[in-house]
Structure 1
Amino acid sequence: MGGALSLTLVALAYPSMLGFSTVSSSADHVIAQTPTGPLTEADRDFVVKVRAAGLWEYPVGKLALQKGTTQAVRTAGQHLVDGHAALDDTDRRVAARLNITVPNQASPQQQGFVATLEGDTGKQFDSDMANILRTTHGQIFTTVAKIRATTRNSLVRQLADQANDTVLDHITVMEKTGLVDFDQVLFQETTAPKLPADQVTPPPPAPGEPQVTLTP
């Protein structure tokens, strides 16, 4: 398999916390009280993660539609495009209501996944896409479940419900390609090395930069 695997702006905007680690020792630290419930660091990070996921998986879906050599791979690509277009729309609306700054680019690690698949051709593309996406979706699946079980914010809970359905759908269509190496995927899901924060943190949007949207 190729590739690497009432709110205050002070509290929620760059650069204080946009990555996937927390600024305090406790992810359940409440950073704002909102009309839809308390907002924790973990809640905010989840909103950012959902946005970042769409910013790389959506273009991978479009690549699959163009480069996939089997109908199952192309079908998986269509699910990525449609699923992340819908999920990103919800995510951006939730972020706006909770005053959370979200990125316009995926993290360097995620951009590396896209670069790997852009360089692949033929059956290598099919295999790499199925295994990279099955690994990353397996990793995020547990995060979605934890947020859904613990958040006290109703908007974040609604986003987690939709994310759960989307991630499970994408896991399923990757497996239906018949290309997933389950032993390798499970190993990578459970033993992935901890990367430096700058590799897993999406860059902040430039001041005044239009928000990127993902269209179905």
Structure 2
Amino acid sequence: MPVSRNAIGTAAVGGALVLTLAALIYPSMLGIQNTASNQSRIIANTQWGPLTEADRNFVVFVRSAGLWEGPSGQLAMQRGTTAAVREAGRHLVIGHAALDASCRRIAPELNITIPNQPTPQQQGFLATFQSDRGKQFDTDFANTLRMTHGSIFNTIAKIRSTTENTLVRALADQANDVVLDHITQMEKTGLVNFDQVNFQETTPPKLPAAQVTPPVPQPGAPVVALTVPLGLSTEGVPTGPATEPSPTASPTAG
């Protein structure tokens, strides 16, 4: 599938919350490729436990993913030619709004700057959907989203099994439920080409770091918030655990 480099605006993803954005050097290679930096390096000690590079990258990735998958879900609800594709779109919109709310809640606590736009690679996926019509939209939507969700699924498991930070652990729990639901919804469309998807997951393209890194937001810029459209039913859509994590038993000042 060709990847466009067209950017998307923020109007498609709902309202905004105004927060002060702290400085952060984004980790590179945050797309469907693995990072090459020292993921286990502790970059901060917080009251919720140590925060590693992998933890930070995970929060940024979940946020970045929602910024293109949420709008993709809205397109599917509008353009999908089958009920299954439209239903998959509904699950994307609702699930990523829930994950986005969690990212926006914990990022200030952990002093993590989150992006306001997805990566150029992710913007390209969305641009393809925007230009698609009919069955081509259905096919591209189902296969691309099945590939990207399948790629992050293993990362979620690794973060959940290794992180010592309770905020990141809770996000991983939530992401596990939401992403598994989205994988299932894509498969229910009956359009997934598993040979193609499995190849793309195991042999991702070697892209420049700039293509798979979210643009750094301007200091003081309002934080875009993914929201569920008014009147859209959330019935039957998993959004993950709703419990608030507690600080670790022995917090360390950072």
TM-score, structure 2 as length reference = 0.79
3-state SS in 1 of match to 2:152: helix
State the match for 1:15 in structure 2: 25
Segments of 4+ in structure 1 off by > 4 A? 21-24
1:130–1:180: 8 Å Cα contact kept in structure 2? yes
* Structure 2 CA distance for partners of 1:144 and 1:110, relative to 1, 3 Å: same
Deviation at 1:19, TM superposition (A): 5.3
State the match for 1:8 in structure 2: none
State the match for 1:84 in structure 2: 96
3-state SS in 1 of match to 2:171: helix
How many angstroms apart in 2 are the aligned matches of 1:143 and 1:70?
31
How many angstroms apart in 2 are the aligned matches of 1:193 and 1:91?
27
Q: Deviations over 1:132-189 (max 9, x none)?
A: 0000000000000000000000000000000000100000000000000001100111
User: Are residues 1:179 and 2:185 paired?
Assistant: no
Select the structure that is richer in helix. Answer: 1
* Mapping for residues 135-174 of structure 1, pairs under 5 Å: 135-174=147-186
Deviation at 1:15, TM superposition (A): 2.7
TM-score, structure 1 as length reference = 0.92
Deviation at 1:18, TM superposition (A): 6.2
How many angstroms apart in 2 are the aligned matches of 1:58 and 1:168?
16
3-state SS in 1 of match to 2:51: strand
State the match for 2:8 in structure 1: none
Deviation at 1:94, TM superposition (A): 1.1
How many angstroms apart in 2 are the aligned matches of 1:3 and 1:76?
23
Number of positions where the alignment pairs a residue of Structure 1 with one of Structure 2: 208
How many angstroms apart in 2 are the aligned matches of 1:123 and 1:3?
17
Q: Deviations over 1:44-82 (max 9, x none)?
A: 000000000000000000000110000000000000000
* Mapping for residues 48-127 of structure 1, pairs under 5 Å: 48-127=60-139
* Structure 2 CA distance for partners of 1:133 and 1:23, relative to 1, 3 Å: closer
> Percent of pairs identical after alignment?
66
Q: Which runs of 5+ in 1 are unaligned?
A: 6-11
3-state SS in 1 of match to 2:190: coil
2:26–2:216: 8 Å Cα contact kept in structure 1? no
